Chain A
Amino acid sequence: MMFPTDDTPTKRDDGFRFDPDAVERGMDAVGRAVQVQESPGVPWRAIAAAIMLVVGLGLFIQLWQNPKPCISWACQLEELSDEELDGMLDLLNEDEATDLWADDDGWTGHF
């Protein structure tokens, strides 16, 4: 078998023959792929943005209507009325008097 030299290249038949119908089918497939990409389809980005907006608005309204719950110890102390605070301090003094927490260190020492 002869191979082309660098200076005198010649075209050679590769033996493949393509059925015109197959070529048409291939081009039709390209056309369909192009059409699919052309069509607007489902606007996923717009849907995602709308969902985010609704969720964001919902959270905002919830926070606006329900102020931050008082969970921390400092906040709960502030929320106490004078009577409640007095009552709690009395209880604490009473605990000290009865030595309720006397063996607390011993208890933690087990761990």
Chain B
Amino acid sequence: MRTITANESSSSIPDFTEWMREHYVLVLSQSRRMLVVREDAEDVTQAVFVKAWKAWDGFQGNEVQRRAWLLRIARNAVVDAARKRKIRRMASIDLVLEERTESVFSADDFQGDRILASLHAAVSTLPPKQRWVFQARYFDARSYAELSEETGTSEGALKASYHHARKKVESLLREDAELIFQA
């Protein structure tokens, strides 16, 4: 187990705190898109930075590599959390989408419109890995090359994953749009 002396602590923590301040919202926003419940996203984000802190002194690399390292930790954490929090769906997909759209739309930290809320609801029904690829690509416009390096998955596989996710989301959103229009 790693032992931390007082000197080591005082020299690394301030740098880490500053770095965490710069990247906290980045990780929190990814977690928030991946997990329906805000508290879950906050818990996972905190866990990501605690994990990063544990390996802080052992990490060798420049700032870009450190950021990529953080995103890799975040990605593994949110995908794991999404898997663990997977709820067996008993209701119809329409009802699930409606409930989740309402949940996002009425959340204190959401300021988008209802269509955007229904997009988040549709994304939340995707399998965790597909969900992660979709949100990283759609919202953050991250390149396949970067995602490939981060995940160790080929660019082709990532493109296929995004394509499948996009088709599912488009299909779900059309149904949702019809329901909203009828109402």
Contact = CB atoms under 8 A, between A and B. Distances in A.
B25 A1 contact: no
Contacts, number: 91
Contact of B29 (A16, A19, A27): A16
B50 interface: yes
Nearest to A8: B141
Nearest to B143: A9
Interface residues of B, number: 44
Nearest to A15: B112
B49 A14 contact: no
B170 A34 contact: no
A13 interface: yes
Interface string B21-51: 1001100110011000000001001100110
Nearest to B108: A19
A4 interface: yes
B173 interface: yes
Contact of A16 (B32, B54, B115): B32
Given A10-B141, A16-B33, A16-B109, A34 B24 contact: no
Interface of B: 4, 9, 13, 17, 20-21, 24-25, 28-29, 32-33, 42, 45-46, 49-50, 53-54, 104, 108-113, 115-117, 119-120, 135, 137-144, 159, 166, 170, 173
28 contacts: A1-B119, A1-B173, A3-B138, A4-B141, A6-B144, A9-B137, A11-B139, A12-B138, A12-B139, A12-B141, A13-B112, A13-B139, A14-B29, A14-B116, A15-B110, A15-B120, A16-B33, A16-B110, A18-B32, A22-B42, A22-B109, A23-B24, A26-B24, A26-B46, A27-B17, A27-B21, A27-B24, A38-B4
